[in-house]
Amino acid sequence: MKNLAFALGILLIFGACNPSKQYTKKGTELYLLGNYDDAATYFYNALLANPSNLEAREALKKSGNNVLTSKFSTFGKYVVENRSGDAVRQYLSNKKYYEKIKAVGVDLEWPTMYDEVYSDIKNEYIGKLYEDGLNLMKENKYDVAEKKFTEIGEIEPGYKDASVLRMNSILEPMYQMGVKMLDQENFKEAYRNFDKVYLQDKTYKNVSALREAALGKASVGLGVLPVQNQTRHRDFDNKLYQDIVAGLVKGKSPFLKVVDRSTLERMLQEQQLGMSGLVDPETAAKAGKLIGLKYVLMTAWSEWNMDRNPLAIDSVEAYESFTETVPGPNVGQVNSVTRFKKVKYARHYQMNRVYARVFYQLVSTQTGQIVASDVIALEKKDEFERYFFNGPVSNLYPELPRDNKLPQVSKEWREKFNKANRRIFSSEELSNQLSQSISRSLTDEIRIYVER
């Protein structure tokens, strides 16, 4: 008897944990109420959970056929009412439902008598969509035309040249805007529009040639002069110059043509000029104009500070708590009291720091004017602090108790005793980081100006 009860319990648990069976039961309840659509959904989910559920398979075939019949009734209604678009979309919805049910192994009864009706309505409807799309493009209403050709593609992919026309309805507005900007000599905007078209279709009309023409007009030649070292220190100016040139090149601005020191020297020599004379905006602008540059970037390194601090070890006073037993007020009674003793722990501290001040000027060779300038002053610092104590850190306090209350100890103070040791960045490493940060700030500002 106990074995039978146990077996029944197992069956009950199994049934409660069998989603396919639960879905089938719920679907049957809905089917008996005439709710075929929701019933079919439950039977469908039952088969997803257990493809071998024969009861759900048969039930889905019955309820699914009822749903499909209802859907085709709606299709017929749209046909009678001459709602061609709705009829086409309904037929496609019916087809999608049929394929969905078939995917779980149930073949519904497809009413083939509607296929010819759909074919006639579809051909007429997409023919009108196609004609409307062409007329809209003639009226330069490209956004509306695109929707027409997109719908054609959804109904019948490959219909005539609808996909090409859809793409043209997207590309043509950008192409025309590029032509307009080119006529207005707004070469950067012209290039941006032509480039969007080019990335989609390189063969679209003459977009390749117009894109190159706009880029040629919009391009800006920028000569980067060596960094002037106004300090008594060395090397940082060369590193900074390399980072500035690299940052400008890596920015990948299509309009910026960077001319570095070696190329500048060669171009100046061809004009019988030297680099050493380019010390102020006026002379730099004149030389830059002679060699075909639009801007010259002048940078000066004016301040430098480097702090190298070796590892310092200090002895710091603190207080360690301990428990002591003392006689109580009664005979034989012993009490425990907390006392404190002065101890010392070791504080290890190390810090490296570098600071630089840089001033730049972007000079227009056309006017000789300074069109952008700024002072960039930054520092890079790395420090490490760790405490060492020969005893239980949990009993250590930075000060004595007050009013019979234990001192408050911050979490950060205690954590410094458990901090893992690490090597701090050297001054040379911090110098490299500082150079990169300054060059990044400088080149970002230059690119923003050039891109306008």
pLDDT tens-digit map of 125-179: 999 999 999 999 889 898 998 999 999 999 998 888 888 888 888 899 999 999 9
Question: What does the pLDDT look like over 287-298, one tens digit per residue?
Answer: 888 888 899 999
CA 207, CA 194: separation in Å to the nearest integer? 6
Residue pair 350/424 in contact (Cβ under 8 Å)? The answer is yes
Contact 311, 350 (CB under 8 A): yes
Provide the domain limits for residue 187: 125-218
Answer yes or no: is 361 within a domain. yes
> Band of the pLDDT at 275, cuts 50, 70, 90?
low
pLDDT (tens digit per residue) in 3-56: 444 343 433 444 456 899 999 999 999 999 999 999 999 999 999 999 999 999
Question: 381 with 442, same domain?
Answer: yes
Residue 62 makes CB contacts below 8 A (sequence gap 6+) with 31
Q: Is residue 11 part of a domain?
A: no
Question: How confident is the model at residue 350, as a pLDDT?
Answer: 93
Burial of 257 (0-12, 13-18, 19+ CB in 10 A): middle
CATH of the domain at 76: 1.25.40
Of the residues 79, 110, 141, which one is the last residue of a structural domain?
110
The span from the CA of 187 to the CA of 190, in Å, is 5
DSSP string, 83-147: -HHHHHHHHHHHHHHHHHHHTTT------GGGHHHHHHHHHHHHHHHHHHHHHHHHTT-HHHHHH
Let me know whether 295 and 366 are in one domain: yes
Band of pLDDT at residue 278, cut at 50, 70 and 90: low
Residue 119 lies in a domain: no
Count: domains in the chain: 3
- What is d(CA 238, CA 234) in angstroms, rounded to the nearest whole number? 8
Token output for 149:
């050709």
Residue 262's pLDDT is: 82
